[in-house]
Amino acid sequence: MYQVDAFTDRLFEGNPAAVCPLTDWLADDLLQKIAAENNLSETAFFVPRDDEFEIRWFTPAVEVDLCGHATLAAAFVLMDLMEPARRSVTFRSRSGPLHVTRDGDLFSLDFPTRPAVPIPEPPGLSEALGASPSAFLKARDIIVVFDDP
């Protein structure tokens, strides 16, 4: 188990995440208990699968679909501490593949895209908002577009 401060080169700064490399998945309730015990915004767990890794993230309360800083923290643990010769890694997640590359001390993360597509107005949404949006889109979430007044 590691604690990594992402987005910084200074101790006790940046965005902390716990990282737990595993050889195989533990039960979901145990992963959740570990994350709750860590009491950080996210704990990343990863397991090797061929030349890639599966990754999952847990807050102290729930599993989440995506977490950028914990992914970078996991890549740091893998490429800096476990396999220092490695320069790239692909993590497979519920949100799709996440590619991390390393150039010296800099890590770059390529997020999956979530293109928004037009949808019909969800029933009752305009009334609930008290306004008339110009468009409704859906990616992971519903996006409501308003024209400038």
Average pLDDT value for the chain? 96
pLDDT, tens digit, for every residue of 3-50?
999 999 999 999 999 999 999 999 999 999 999 999 999 999 999 999
**Do 65 and 126 belong together in one domain?**
no
Catalytic residue numbers?
42
What pLDDT was estimated at residue 113?
82
Q: Which domain holds residue 137?
A: 114-149
pLDDT, tens digit, for every residue of 70-90? 999 999 999 999 999 999 999
Whether residue 62 sits in one domain with residue 118: no
User: Which residues are within 8 A (CB) of 135 and not within 5 positions of it... i.e. 6 or more apart?
Assistant: 118, 144, 145
For the entire predicted model, the pTM comes to 0.83
Instruction: Find the CATH number of the domain harbouring 23.
Output: 3.10.310.10
Confidence of residue 111 (pLDDT cuts 50, 70, 90): confident
Indicate whether 70 and 134 sit together in one domain: no
Both 103 and 81 in one domain: the answer is yes
Q: What is the pLDDT of residue 140?
A: 85
Nearest by Cα to 54 from 41, 63, 45: 45
Number of structural domains (the chain) is 2
Burial of 144 (0-12, 13-18, 19+ CB in 10 A): middle
Q: Which two tokens stand for residue 105?
A: 């001390």
> Which residue shows structure tokens 């996210």?
42
For residues 9 and 46, membership in a common domain is answered with: yes
* Residue whose token pair is 């061929």: 50
Residues 87 and 21 in one domain: yes
36 and 21 part of one domain: yes
Task: Determine the Cα–Cα distance for residues 93 and 18; give it in Å rounded to an integer.
Answer: 17
Q: Average the pLDDT over 52-80 and give the result.
A: 98
> Could you tell me if 121 and 93 lie in one domain?
no
Among the listed residues 89, 143, 95, the one whose alpha carbon sits nearest the alpha carbon of residue 117? 143
Cβ neighbours around 137 below 10 Å, total: 15
Does residue 16 share a domain with residue 70? yes
Same domain, 105 and 123: no
Cα separation, 65 vs 71, whole angstroms: 12
31 shares a domain with 56: yes
